[in-house]
Structure 1
Amino acid sequence: MNIVCVAACTAGIAHTYIAREKLIKGARALGHNIQVETQGTIDTENELLAEDISAADVVILATDVKIKGEERFKNKRIVRVKTAVVIKSPVQFLEKVEKSITNT
């Protein structure tokens, strides 16, 4: 599965980057491709490219705040989740996403 994600927490520091790392490790453990953009105190990093978004099977918004550029994901399947969920159990979360994708 091809996944694109945006991670952003209220402070834009710790949880944003921890969520990014947990999602990457979890996706790789399950054999998925993932690109994770972060939006935090130092602005946007690892900005998703249009071709990455186009190729994505799902968009995960692991956010606790409103993000910039959400319109880029128009017509894509979007899963919204709090950063704490992906930090606590990234593999279980991604398995649920995987099941929801294959059941539709």
Structure 2
Amino acid sequence: MKIVGVTACTIGIAHTYLAQQKLEDAAKAAGDDIKIETQGTIGIENALTEEDIKQADVVILAIDIKIADEERFKGKKTVKVSTETAIKSPNKLIAKLHEIVGK
């Protein structure tokens, strides 16, 4: 399964990057391809391309704030959770994405 997503926390430091790492580790352990864009204090890193989004089976938004360009995910299966959920239960979250997509 191909997953893309965005992580962003209120302060834009620790939880943004922790959530990214936890999601990437859980997805890779499940055999998925994943690319996570971070929107933190230093701006957007690892930016998702139009092609990344087009090819994705599902979008995960682990965010605590409004993010830039959320409308680019319109029409995609999208799951929105807090960064805390992504950090504390990444494996359950990836399993849920599989349920939603049916893969």
TM-score normalised per structure 2? 0.97
Q: Look up the equivalent residue of 2:45 and give its one-letter code.
A: E
Structure 1: 5+ residue stretches without partners: none
What is aligned with 2:30? Answer: 30
* Residue identity in the other structure for 2:11: A
Shift of 1:56: 0.3
Equivalent residue, structure 2, for 1:94: 94
**Once the 2 structures are TM-superposed, how far is the Cα of residue 71 of structure 1 from its aligned partner?**
1.2
Identity of aligned residues (%): 54
Match of 1:79 in 2: 79
Give the structure 2 partner of residue 41 of structure 1.
41
Query: Which amino acid in structure 2 is aligned with residue 87 of structure 1?
Result: I
Name the CA distance, whole Å, in 2 between partners of 1:4 and 1:53.
Answer: 7
TM-score (norm 1): 0.96
Equivalent position SS for 2:6 = strand
Provide the aligned length of Structure 1 versus Structure 2.
103
Aligned equivalents of 1:58, 1:93: Cα separation in 2: 12
Cα shift readout 1:50-77 (whole Å, capped 9, x = no counterpart): 1000000001100000000111111111
